[in-house]
Structure 1
Amino acid sequence: MLAGALLPWVLLRPNRLAPGEYLRLPPALAGTGVLLAVLPLLTARFLPRLTWLPASLAVVVGFWWLGSQTQAALVNQPPFARASAASGVWLFLLGAGIGVYGAGLLARSRAGRWLAWAWLPPVAALFVSGHLNAWSVLVEGRNEGPRWVQELGQHLRLVGGGLGLALLIGVPLAVWAAGRERVAAVVLGAANGIQTLPSLALLGLLIAPLSALADTFPALRSLGVSGIGVAPALTALTLYALLPILRNGVVALRGVPFGTVDAARGMGMTAAQLFWRVRLPLALPVWLSGVRQAAVLLVGVTAVAALIGAGGLGTYIFKGLQSAAADLILLGAVPAALLALLLDAALRGLERVLGRRLGRVE
């Protein structure tokens, strides 16, 4: 945070692609930033339960300054001028984020941990109120408009489709392999082998066979199967998601306590009842951890699939790389990162809920 307050805060460019001029915070604001950088350290030393307050304040102030400084930079500038966040913004917000995380660790109660999120409503209000509308990333987002929403929807469809197909294939395979050592070795070995292939290489390898398949069977081409586009993307995503689902499924099913299974057999349960009422519920929290890993993995791999015409948020990442437009890169990368974090948090919460319920049942 200290370095961020002293480094350039805004990059003002005459247009999206042209080089620009770095602008620093005014001296009064820079001095305030230095003070905000010191306050969390002092609070953590003398009042650890209140560390959330200066850390959350620093996050809110960082976004406020980003909005006010980008607005000030664009005064008397042409409509196509861009005011981007410079290195000072990112370092300041990174330091403030570390302070918020540390405040959550120092909290000794659940209420204290929730207070570490006190920055979220004010920051959301800044976005909703339009205070940050001069920030170049949001300017590009408004310009893209419906196209960005379309690509986000495509990204979600690809992730959901790949994960769903992997579950349809991986769940029966994991159940079959859990009680058969040789089958497990073959299945997990094949999934491990696929995982070692770089995502771009796997997408490239799928182009030729899928093109040949579509040429041989024209009906498949009418269904959308071709060497580029959604078909190879979904195939690659499904293959990548198989390993965590298979591995965690096999480990979870094998980890069900033998005594519990034996007691269920003694009660006269059939094999189907034993699986659905005993083995699967007990294995589900660990198995769901594999599903969570697969979902987060697919969010990143889907971005690469934009290179073969599958669409998604990766379209903006590679478009920005080709034109050296950092704002377009952020327009694709930041939502993809947030999507991965949301999926991880949601599925992790589901794991905890299942674990608590099973713990109470036991």
Structure 2
Amino acid sequence: MLAATFLPWVLLRPNRLAAGEFLRLPLPEMLLGVAAALLPALAGRFFPRAAPLLASFSLALGAWWLGSRTGAALSGQAEFARASASSGVWLWLLGAAITVYGAGLAGQRWGGAQRWLAWLWLPMVLAAALTGHFASWSVVAEYRVQHDRFLQELWQHLRLILSALGLATLIGAPLSVWASRSARVSGTVLGLAGGIQTVPSLALLGLLIAPLSALANAVPGLRSLGVSGIGVAPALTAMTLYALLPVLRNGVVALRGVLPGVLDAARGMGMTDNQRFWRVQLPLALPVWLSGIRQAAVMLVGVASVAQLIGAGGLGYFIFSGLQSGAADLILLGALPAALLAILLDIVLRGVEALLGRQLGRA
């Protein structure tokens, strides 16, 4: 964070593609940045209870400067000018995020409201975003231009993820139950799923073009359902295959991890095999199994971005459009929402795992 205060903060360009000028923080803000970088560390040493609050302030300050500095840079510029975040912004936000994480861990020891002080940056940043404070940032400017297309591709990205995750769960669940009862079956199934993981996603998408095209030509009815060598069909197939390994692996481990004594007790109570599975084994295995589904969901966010290369749509549209034109703002317009989507899915599914774990603990 100290280094970030002396690095360029904004890159001002006359348009999206032209070279630009690097701008640094003004001296007063630079001095404030030095203080905001040092105070959490000093507080952690001498006033540890204040460290989460100061760390949260430093992260919110970096976000605030991103909006204010880009706005100041665009003052008096032409309509097509762009003000991008430069190296100082990203290094500051990285350092501040690490500081917030460390302060949050320390705050957990005190409990109560103290543990939430490290999260105060979130409402502050959300309030700034909702009031248009980041409107001058180049990524937000690109969003305004691409608003309708962005919402379309975001929905397509989410639809690909949820469809592939649902298919992988429907296929992987019965396979996991079968594999958990036989070492030979589990070795074969997990080996095949692991082998698919070794194939790069782009290569797998390419390998699926020929067989799916041949299948659509051989069975014309499939083409009317959308099956073809390019588009959603190969993307969904590849994503489902990629998601199978974490679903299968965690399912097998979870089902085998149920203590034999618990199953013996259920048998002693007169339960049938089906009753033992549905009432005892599956509920106990479900939190660990959900962890595999969570891992698959997070992984699919990245794989779905590559699906744009074969015409399946998604946030990869902006990433590859930016790569082709050399526009970093377009790349960020696709990459940042994808990263946030992965984090959100991880948080939601972790919450479901924790909820199930608490319910089983009380039971």
Q: C-alpha separation between the residues in 2 aligned to 1:69 and 1:111? A: 33
Q: Which one-letter code corresponds to 1:48 in the other structure?
A: P
Q: C-alpha separation between the residues in 1 aligned to 2:347 and 2:247? A: 18
Among candidates 306, 311, 314, match of residue 312 of structure 1:
314
Instruction: Name structure 1 gaps, 5 residues minimum.
Output: none
- How big is the shift at 1:305? 0.7
1:278 paired residue number: 280
Q: Which one-letter code corresponds to 1:148 in the other structure?
A: F
Q: Which one-letter code corresponds to 1:355 in the other structure?
A: G
TM-score (norm. length: structure 2)? 0.98
1:159 paired residue number: 161
Give the RMSD, CA atoms, in angstroms.
Answer: 0.8
- How big is the shift at 1:110? 5.0
Are residues 288 and 29 of structure 1, via their aligned partners in 2, closer, same or farther at CA, if it must alter by over 3 Å?
same
1:64 paired residue number: 64
Q: Does 1:134 align with 2:104?
A: no
Q: C-alpha separation between the residues in 2 aligned to 1:261 and 1:163? A: 30
Q: C-alpha separation between the residues in 2 aligned to 1:75 and 1:294? A: 45
1:122 paired residue number: 124
The structure 1 segments of at least 4 consecutive aligned residues displaced by more than 6 Å after TM superposition are none
Aligned-pair identity in percent equals 69
1:90-139 deviations in Å (ceiling 9; x for gaps):
11111111111011111112533222101100100110001110000000
Q: C-alpha separation between the residues in 1 aligned to 2:78 and 2:226? A: 45
Q: C-alpha separation between the residues in 1 aligned to 2:128 and 2:259? A: 52
1:32 paired residue number: 32
- How big is the shift at 1:225? 0.5
Among candidates 172, 175, 178, match of residue 177 of structure 2:
175
Q: C-alpha separation between the residues in 2 aligned to 1:330 and 1:24? A: 21
Q: Which one-letter code corresponds to 1:145 in the other structure?
A: H
Match runs of 1:332-347 below 5 Å: 332-347=334-349
1:102 paired residue number: 102
Q: Does 1:197 align with 2:194?
A: no
TM-score (norm. length: structure 1)? 0.98
Q: Does 1:144 align with 2:170?
A: no
2:5 paired residue number: 5
- How big is the shift at 1:216? 1.0
Q: Secondary structure at the match of 2:119?
A: coil
2:45 paired residue number: 45
Q: C-alpha separation between the residues in 2 aligned to 1:53 and 1:177? A: 50
Q: C-alpha separation between the residues in 2 aligned to 1:260 and 1:41? A: 50
Q: Which one-letter code corresponds to 2:9 in the other structure?
A: W
Q: Secondary structure at the match of 2:167?
A: helix
Q: C-alpha separation between the residues in 2 aligned to 1:214 and 1:33? A: 60
1:189-215 deviations in Å (ceiling 9; x for gaps):
110110111100100100010011111
2:240 paired residue number: 238
Q: Secondary structure at the match of 1:131?
A: coil
Q: Secondary structure at the match of 1:276?
A: helix
Q: Secondary structure at the match of 1:58?
A: helix
Q: Secondary structure at the match of 1:51?
A: helix
